Structure 1
Amino acid sequence: MSSYGNYLNLIALSLFSYEVAGTAFGVGAVMALRLFSGFLAGLVAGGLLARATRRTVMVCTDVAQVTAMAVLAMTASHTPPWLLGCAVVVMGAGNTLFNVSLRSAVPVMVGQEARARANGLLVAARSWATVLGFASAAPVIGFGGYATAFAVNAASFAVSAAALLVLRPRTDDRGAAGGEVPGPSAEQGAGASSRPAAGGRPGLAALGVPALLAGMIALRALDALASSSHNVALPVVADSNGSTDPAVFMTQFWAAWAVGTFLAQQVLRRRTDSSAWGARAFAVGTCAMSISFVLAFTGLPAVALVLASVSAGFADGCTEIVYTSRLQATPDRQRSRLFGLSATAETSGFTVGTVSAAAALEALPALVVVGAFHGVAVCGALVLLALTTVSGGTAPPRSSTSADEGEESHGTRPGAGTVPGA
């Protein structure tokens, strides 16, 4: 529900920002403010979640976003720019903190063995929410204006907060201080590799993150950069496609993509071997996703375009599930900080990519821009594949605790710590 509200809001808030600011620069400034607040939230997420439970943070971010959207709904006819700015800061930071809390809480909620299936369900739900949010934006705004769109968005966050309060899921291990996993295995998970984090220094090196895991986070940032190009270029291609209405074209594209992510969830839920969750699988999936997205911009006929979109969604879903499951294999004490760093890296990549792709599209065809950006992601994936070959490790430990020592020699010992198609 909250993802549906987010994607409905993505369109409604962009159009509303133009109405309030009156210029394209104003719209860009609002988007930059939202992304920057998400970037900062990723940096502080680890420290915040070390002091508060994940469920508390998720409920508080939902309530904050309900408040922000309710205020915009009540002032939609005369919203001052400063109030709009405050709302987008709350939305950007709240979305990042909620996602970091949820992703790092999944192994506690369902157990390490079931985390991949849970991630698949989350990815599939988000994919359909993306399509429904985009498809319903125009009818909702047309029927009741921006106030109705913001009210629907507020209601979606209220449903999410109510579910957390009623269901009361277990989101934190409470066997030791700070939510650390209890027992001797926690000492292994928070041993030598995590001691540098005690000084409070942010960054992958300070958190003792090994090369393969750091490489996966770096590739995730390149993936976000590449994905920004097709998100920016798709409306341009849809508008230039004379045979199809732009809204219909984009809805068909993202609906096919959502089907692909759903198929990925169905396939990966049947994979029980640990090799499915390693850096090598993530790198191969990133290559497949980038190639599929580039093919979708080559002017394919309708049927082939749908197949390319399904293929991109399938690879996108696989990489999302593999990547999230791999980071969740880290010890509970380190997981939140690692997801916070990942969120910062992804936001940075998407921000830089959005600005660069928009500028490049002023002078170059969409295929060239999308091909160049996704080419960077493919190169990064090939580097990670080479790294996995040299290190000889592809899979994470079987759990967040028991296999840490045995995996160290393979370079896969865990360390500390969207937009559609990203």
Structure 2
Amino acid sequence: MSAYGNYLNLIALSLFSYEVTGTAFGIGAVMALRLLAGVVAGPAAGTVTARLGRRTVMIGADTAQATAMTVLALCGSRTPLWLLGLVVVVLGAGNTFFTVALRSAVPVMVGQEARARANGQLVTARSLATVLGFASAAPVISYGGYGTAFAVNAASFVVSGVALLVLRPRTEEASPSEPAEAAPGPPWWRAWAGVPALLLGLIALRGTDALASSSHNVALPVVAELAEPVDPALYMSRFWAAWAVGTVLAHQVLKRTGTERGAAWGERAFALGTCAMSCSFVLTFTGLPALALVPAAAAAGFADGWTEIVYTSRLQAAGDRERGRLFGLSATAEQFGFALGTVVAAAALESLSPLTVVALFHGVAVCGALVLLLASRVSGGVDRKTTDIRYTSDEPTYTALTEGEGTHGTRTGDGRLPGS
């Protein structure tokens, strides 16, 4: 529900920003401010979740975002520029805090063995929410205006927060070796000193992947206008619907190949999936007819869903208190990569064709994936093991655990997660 509200709001807030600022530059500045807030919030998110608890952080993030959107819905066309800026900062930071808390809580909610399946369910729900949010934006705004769209988004955050309050999912790991009341690890600015180079490379590739993804997001409206000038929205709807089907299929395939063990798919699977995703997205910009575009976009969605599930499951293999810091660093890399890519891709489209821009950006991602693939082979198959990160003093230490070895207690559920 909250993902649906976010994607509906992505279009509504962009159009509303143009109405408030009156310039295309204003739209870009508002989007950049939102992304910058997410980048800044990333490193602090792990520390905050460790001190306050993941469920508390998620409820707080939902409450803050629901309040911000309610204020925007009430103010409507009278919204001053400073208030719009404050709202997008709350949205950017709130989304990062919620995402870091949720991703790091998944293994506690469902157990380490079921985390890949749970991640697949989350990816599936988000993909469907993406399509529904984009598809319903136009009729919602046309019927009720921006105020209605913002109110719907606020309501979606309320639904998420109420679900957390009522269902009370278990989000904190407590064991004799890691009591819940133990002091958090070292500060976030020192927490990355002992992270293995291969894991840092994985996160860096995720940021590069986000940079590459920004190019097709920026270029797709341009291609839609060129391919179907009469109805470009139909072109984009067809593209994203096929992409969503692909992500759903990725979850189904991974579930049936027994990936509940999570990190067995590790760095190599993520690198190969990134290569496949980049090549598929480039293919969709080569001017394919509609009958060929749909399977190409579905292939891109399949690889997108694959990499999302594999990557998230890999980071979730870390120790309970350290997952938040890893996902905080990941959020920073992803937000920064997407923000930088959006600006550079938009500038590049002024002089280069959409295919050239998308190929260049995704070419960078492919090169990064090949480097990670080579590093994982040189390291002697680190991706066949999970990494448990434990704090013994002020610095983290890392111990390798063989595949399938339990480290965080018994399985706590059947793998099903309430949608958020």
TM-score (ref. length: structure 1)? 0.89
| Residue number in structure 1 paired with 2:4 | 4
Superposed displacement of residue 201, structure 1:
2.9
| Residue number in structure 2 paired with 1:95 | 95
| Residue number in structure 2 paired with 1:167 | 167
One-letter identity of the residue aligned with 1:351: A
Distance 2:67 2:264 in 1: 41
Superposed displacement of residue 395, structure 1:
2.7
CA contact (8 A) 1:329 1:397 kept: no
1:50 equivalent to 2:50? Answer: yes
Secondary structure, counterpart of 1:362 in structure 2:
coil
Q: Deviations over 1:121-176 (max 9, x none)?
A: 00000000000000000000000000000000001001000100000000011336
One-letter identity of the residue aligned with 1:267: V
| Residue number in structure 2 paired with 1:76 | 76
Superposed displacement of residue 393, structure 1:
1.4
Superposed displacement of residue 261, structure 1:
0.2
Secondary structure, counterpart of 2:381 in structure 1:
coil
Q: CA RMSD in A?
A: 2.3
Secondary structure, counterpart of 2:52 in structure 1:
coil
Superposed displacement of residue 210, structure 1:
1.0
| Residue number in structure 1 paired with 2:208 | 222
One-letter identity of the residue aligned with 1:330: A
Distance 1:305 1:10 in 2: 25
Structure 1 residues 82 and 243: CA distance shift in structure 2, 3 A: closer
| Residue number in structure 1 paired with 2:32 | 32
Instruction: Identify the match of residue 268 of structure 1 among 254, 262, 274.
Output: 254
| Residue number in structure 2 paired with 1:187 | none
Distance 2:53 2:187 in 1: 22
Secondary structure, counterpart of 1:16 in structure 2:
helix
Q: Deviations over 1:85-128 (max 9, x none)?
A: 11101100000100000000000000000000000000000000
Superposed displacement of residue 29, structure 1:
1.1
Secondary structure, counterpart of 1:198 in structure 2:
coil
**What is the aligned length?**
394
Distance 1:361 1:105 in 2: 40
Superposed displacement of residue 12, structure 1:
0.1
| Residue number in structure 2 paired with 1:279 | 267
Larger deviation, residues 136-145 vs 166-175? 166-175
1:257 equivalent to 2:228? Answer: no
Superposed displacement of residue 25, structure 1:
1.4
Structure 1 residues 298 and 60: CA distance shift in structure 2, 3 A: same
Structure 1 residues 177 and 295: CA distance shift in structure 2, 3 A: same
One-letter identity of the residue aligned with 2:158: A
CA contact (8 A) 2:228 2:235 kept: no
Distance 2:167 2:205 in 1: 36
Superposed displacement of residue 252, structure 1:
0.6
Structure 1 residues 181 and 296: CA distance shift in structure 2, 3 A: farther
CA contact (8 A) 2:349 2:357 kept: yes
One-letter identity of the residue aligned with 1:254: W
Distance 1:72 1:143 in 2: 18
Q: What does 1:214-363 correspond to in 2, within 5 Å?
A: 214-242=200-228, 245-272=231-258, 274=261, 276-363=264-351
Structure 1 residues 361 and 54: CA distance shift in structure 2, 3 A: same
Distance 1:235 1:272 in 2: 38
Instruction: Show structure 2 runs of 5+ residues with no match.
Output: 391-397, 403-420
Distance 1:142 1:14 in 2: 15
Superposed displacement of residue 199, structure 1:
5.8
Distance 2:156 2:307 in 1: 27
Q: What does 1:196-207 correspond to in 2, within 5 Å?
A: 198=186, 200-202=188-190, 204=192, 206=193
Q: Could you say which structure has the greater relative contact order, defined with CA pairs below 8 angstroms and 6 or more residues apart?
A: 2
| Residue number in structure 2 paired with 1:157 | 157
CA contact (8 A) 1:104 1:335 kept: yes
CA contact (8 A) 2:43 2:332 kept: yes
Distance 2:181 2:380 in 1: 28
One-letter identity of the residue aligned with 2:89: V
Superposed displacement of residue 26, structure 1:
1.2
CA contact (8 A) 1:179 1:333 kept: no
Superposed displacement of residue 388, structure 1:
1.1
Q: What does 1:99-118 correspond to in 2, within 5 Å?
A: 99-118=99-118
Larger deviation, residues 5-14 vs 43-52? 43-52
Superposed displacement of residue 303, structure 1:
1.1
CA contact (8 A) 1:280 1:394 kept: no
Secondary structure, counterpart of 1:101 in structure 2:
helix
Secondary structure, counterpart of 1:156 in structure 2:
helix
Secondary structure, counterpart of 1:329 in structure 2:
coil
Distance 1:69 1:379 in 2: 40
One-letter identity of the residue aligned with 2:281: F
Q: Deviations over 1:232-271 (max 9, x none)?
A: 0000000111366111111110000000000000011123
Instruction: Show structure 1 runs of 5+ residues with no match.
Output: 183-189, 409-422
TM-score (ref. length: structure 2)? 0.89
Distance 1:179 1:397 in 2: 25
Secondary structure, counterpart of 1:269 in structure 2:
helix
Secondary structure, counterpart of 1:88 in structure 2:
helix
Secondary structure, counterpart of 1:350 in structure 2:
helix
Distance 1:26 1:86 in 2: 14
Distance 1:65 1:393 in 2: 42
